[in-house]
Amino acid sequence: MEDRAIRLAGAFADVVLGFEEDGVHPAEGQLEEDRAADDAPTDDDRLDALGDGSASLHHGSTVSGQTYDVKVSATDRPPLAFSTLACPEWDAATVVRHAAAGSWDGIEWRGGPDGTVRTDWTKERRASLRSAMDEAGLASIAVTTYTDLISGDSGVVRASVIDATTHAELARDLGAPAIRVFLGERDDDASPETLERRAIDALAELLDCVRPFGVTVAIEPHDDHVHSDRIRPILDALPDPALGVVWDIGNAWSVGEDPAVGIAAYEGRVAWVQVKDGTGIGPTWRLCELGAGDVPLDRALSSLGPRSGLGARDPAISLEWERAWDPELAPAEVALPRAHAWLVRHLRRGT
């Protein structure tokens, strides 16, 4: 737990790239080719285990063969991450390379059967990814799961609890402090009260199952429980500090919920925040780049503070660019730098 606390504290730092020797022009900040002979052992063997070997880091942490050091300095903004929902084409090594090159602080790893990280990975493969992230100065924000905890079929619920538990073990191995769960969609004629009771019971069981791994369970409001007034009673029924919520500002706005309502409902229980922008409401909702839509992101983000988050700390901010669901969206190598620049500008406090 002490090691985890140190690792989490590192997420609340700005990643500043200090490039080696002549690898960067001091005025323009452009990478030059590193022509020096590199006789030191590379990370190829370690990172090739993460995927198909098509993307690896070399000589510590590198970008396209150019070397850099990762240095950490204090920051007055929350850590910035992105969900790998943005980059379904990338393997884990490619994600790490782009995250480091783009000055992101962390990664929200997509799990599940189509995820970037998988529960069937060996211990060695998990350790390789964690080592690569450590060397790149990156933190794992969370591992996301795809669960159904309110089904009328007890077998479905049980399978979801087991699956979430295996993802909690994966999160622990990657140094991630939390897993994301969905409550699911109603599949019978159960009343809202019955659905709430099912959610409470399943979450109580899940919390007991994941406790040995020391990770938080975070509910993402979605489907039949997208509104905060459906989530807060569940949080109140389970005051466990290991249970929180993922505040998805865009999801809430897309169904007509103002950020002021959400932040008030989730005070003290926000594990991390997902940001996206879009236009329209309900069936007309369409995703767009940050700042180009209708979501009042500035107002929402300015309402965050230590009182919002679990453990009285500022929650991390994670971009959710849903390219996995909408392949017509700009690819990650285009969308992520634009989103990072927007977030840095808009999260500078006191400016």
Nearest Cα residue to 98 out of 117, 111, 84: 84
Pairwise CA distance, residues 270 & 235, whole Å: 11
pLDDT of the chain, 351 residues: tens digit per residue: 434 333 333 333 333 333 333 333 333 333 333 333 333 334 444 444 455 433 333 323 332 232 223 333 345 789 999 999 999 999 999 999 999 999 999 999 999 999 999 999 999 999 999 999 999 999 999 999 999 999 999 999 999 999 999 999 999 999 999 999 999 999 999 999 999 999 999 999 999 999 999 999 999 999 889 999 999 999 999 999 999 999 999 999 999 999 999 999 999 999 999 999 999 999 999 999 999 999 999 999 999 988 888 876 789 999 999 999 999 999 999 999 999 999 999 987 433
Pairwise CA distance, residues 278 & 286, whole Å: 5
Query: Would you state the pLDDT for residue 75?
Result: 58
Q: Would you say 182 and 223 are in contact if contact means Cβ atoms under 8 Å apart?
A: yes
Query: Would you state the pLDDT for residue 224?
Result: 86
46: Cα within 13 Å, side-chain hemisphere: 18
* Dihedral (Cα; 117, 120, 121, 122), 10-degree rounding: 160
Q: Would you say 116 and 143 are in contact if contact means Cβ atoms under 8 Å apart?
A: no
Residue-wise over 175-197: b if at least 16 C-beta within 10 A, else e? bbbbbbbbbbebeeebeeeebbe
Handedness of CA 251, 345, 140, 51 (dihedral sign): positive
Pairwise CA distance, residues 149 & 202, whole Å: 6
Q: What are phi and psi of 195, to 5 degrees?
A: -60, -40
pLDDT, one tens digit per residue, over 19-40 is 333 333 333 333 333 333 333 3
Domain boundaries, the chain: 77-347
Pairwise CA distance, residues 338 & 33, whole Å: 25
Pairwise CA distance, residues 343 & 328, whole Å: 23
Nearest Cα residue to 335 out of 60, 43, 117, 86: 86
Query: What percent of the chain is predicted at pLDDT more than 70?
Result: 77
Class of the CATH-defined domain 77-347? alpha beta
pLDDT, one tens digit per residue, over 90-134 is 999 999 999 999 999 999 999 999 999 999 999 999 999 999 999
pTM beyond 0.85: the answer is no
